[in-house]
Structures are given as C-alpha cells and as structure tokens.
Amino acid sequence: MADAQNYRAPESLSRWGAVSLGIGAIALIAWVIGTYFNVEQGLRSWILGFIFWGGIAIGSLGLLMLQYLTGGAWGVVLRRPLEAGTKTLPLVILLFLPIAYGVATHQVYEWTHLPAIDPVMAQRGLFMTPWAWILRGFIFLGLFSVMAYLLNKWSASQDASTSFDDSSKLLEKMSKFSGPTLVIYCLVVTFASVDWVLSLDPHWFSTIWGLLYVVGWGLSCLCFMVAILACLIDHEPMKKVLGKRHFHDLGKLILALVMVWAYFSFAQYLVVWSGNIPEETAYYIPRIKGGWGWIGASLIFLHFAFPFLVLLQQDFKRHAKWLAGIAIFVLVMRILDFFWQVGPSARINSLGLESGAFYVSWLDLAAPVAIGGLWLWWFFGQLAKKPLVPINDPYLEEAIEFGHGH
C-alpha cells in the first residue's frame, strides 16, 4: 500500500483554480451584460459553452468506466483527473439552468414555437414540450451524477482499505458496475445530445448522432486530461509517476478517437448526400455555404487530417509537451465543431438574419470562457483534495513501472 503523503497534489493546483475563477468571473459578467441586450444570442453562446465543458465532464465519466472495465496502465495514472472531472457534474447541473430558462421562455430552440402549427412537431405530442424537455435534461444529468457518485465513493473506500484483498474486491466491484452502466451511459448520452443539440433543427434526424457525441465528448475529455497530465509532469509527485509509455498510449487513444470521429461524421454526411431527401439535406445546406462552409472544410483538414498525420509519428506521441500541444489543438477543433453544429440552427430573430446565416458574436467567446473558468476552478479544487494517483490500486506499481519502460 502506497503512502498518500508521497502523492499529494502540488500547491500550484490552488493557484490554477484561483486564476481560472478570476477569468471566468470576468467573462461571466461580460456575458450577463451582453445577454441583457440580446438574450437569444447570449443563450446560443451559452449552449455552445455548455456542450463543450459539460461534455468534458460527461466524457470523464465514460472514460472512467471504460478504464475500470478494460484495465490498462494508461488509465491508472489518469484516474484521479477523470474522477475530478466527474465531480464537476453538480456544477454542470447549475450551468444547465440558463438553457432551461431559454426553453421555458421559448427562445433559441425553434421547436418551442412550432407544436401548435407544425404537423411534424404535433405528432411528437408531450415529448417535445418545454417542460418535458427540461425535466429530461435534469434526469440525464442526475443519472450521470449518480453513476459518478458511486464510482467516487468506492474509489474513496479503496484509498482507505488496509489490505490487498479489500482493494482488489473494490476494483472488481467497480469493474462489474462499469460494464452494464457503460451501456446505459451511451443511451443517456444519445438522448441528451439529441435533446440539447439535434433538436435545434427540429425536423432533422440522424441515427448516428448519439455515437458522434459518445466519441466526441470522449475525445474532448481525453485531450483535456492529456493537457493536464503534461502540466503536472513538471511537479512532484507526477514527475516520478508519468513516463513516455503512458503518453504513448494516450496518444494512440487520441488518434483512434480522431479517426472514429471522422468516420462517423463522414458516414452521416454520405448517407444524407446519397439519399438527397429535402428533410435531411436541409441540415447540411447552410453548413456548406459561406462562412459555415469554410468552418466545415477546416474541420476536415484540421480536426482530422492534421492530427491524424502528426499522431502517426511515434516520437511525437511519447513526448509529453508535444502531445499536449496537439491535444489542445484538437480541443480547439472540438469547440469549433460544436459551433458548426449549434450556430446555423440557433434561432436569433432579434438580429433579423435569415435561417442558417453565418454570424459570430463576441458572446460566442465570452460564454465558453465564463463556463470554462468556473468549471476549471471546480475541477482543480476537486483534483487537489485527494492523492494524484489511486494509492491502493493493486496495479499502481505495475502501471508506474510500465510508463518508464522502453
């Protein structure tokens, strides 16, 4: 059993959290002022930030369960940051409130105006009413929070265990829990992504949408966690824990998820293009024209082609700072992808723009920065509360030795 004092979080985490909170507070004040003058634009921007940062929290839960289910040295050293990510879910619930307000007051989401006059929406009955949508949103986040609470509770019990057998039994318990729960997780992510993003285009549908978000949120989370580990590698105790092989494995996982994201995105487009049905092509038409078209093209080259070619290089994946650089780059592409999904669909009648018109507001930066500042403050606070590695995990020593191998 390892000594918790040897793996204490560095004091710099508190400073990082304080800086994040300061930046987030300033951006939040700016967002509130901007939203006062244009509520619809402010809410569109808030949805963008919520989908990005809330997705990292939700993705943390998915990757945590995946690691418990499959094992692997990469996950042992990543477990504490993933657990800290899942502990931000209570904050994510609070961050959902402005979106719930927007739906309750019939703003941004076009379908909130349609049921009485639109035959397609009328067929969906009570399912697509504002209060049913809001209730489902809180249920989704509540389910994620319960899953995270149980895993973190058992992890804390493992830290407090005094024997190898007790620790092994708890690890087995978390592994058995993660199997069926991961299936439920994927289903909940599917329904949540359909409600929160896909319903911005109420007549459009995609059977692969849920998988895109399972992979997309997982990719966002993994890139964020790699960047965090690269920062921690300069500080004790992670300086002696992390090794090149850990980053090599994490780099391979990023490469795999980038490829799967590209495959699902292309498959969705190919099905719509080959079918050429007006109800389906309506989603892509505004996204391949004008400014949205340029963003779509940049995603092909910068979200897929560039990271794919770079991550094929073994030396690049084994260098912590280099891998963190590409991870941060992919994170920027992730929020650009979300902007490409949300922007053309969000209704902003106050600007007098045609549906799908290209428009970028300073609030599209302020809202993600505000949410990000608050989320990072909460994340660093949770990360600092426990040792940076699962001190009583039966495979901890093996995982550390693996990372420093050749």
Report yes or no: 201 and 345 within 8 Å, Cβ to Cβ. yes
Report yes or no: 96 and 89 within 8 Å, Cβ to Cβ. no
CA 69 remoteness from chain centre: 20
pLDDT along the chain (406 residues), means of 10: 68 93 98 95 96 98 95 85 98 98 89 70 78 96 98 94 90 95 98 95 89 98 97 86 92 97 96 87 90 95 97 93 97 97 76 72 96 98 93 87 73
Report yes or no: 303 and 337 within 8 Å, Cβ to Cβ. yes
Residue 267: the pLDDT is 95
Residue that the structure tokens 């990072």 belong to: 376
Question: How far apart are the C-alpha atoms of 12 and 55, rounded to whole Å?
Answer: 25
Q: At what angle do helices 244-275 and 396-403 cross, to 10 degrees?
A: 90
Report yes or no: 115 and 69 within 8 Å, Cβ to Cβ. no
Q: At what angle do helices 290-298 and 320-342 cross, to 10 degrees?
A: 150
Q: What are phi and psi of 51, to 5 degrees?
A: -65, -35
Residue that the structure tokens 């949205």 belong to: 292
For residue 376, what are its two tokens? 């990072």
Rounded to 10 degrees, the C-alpha dihedral 325/327/333/334 comes to -150
CA 291 remoteness from chain centre: 25
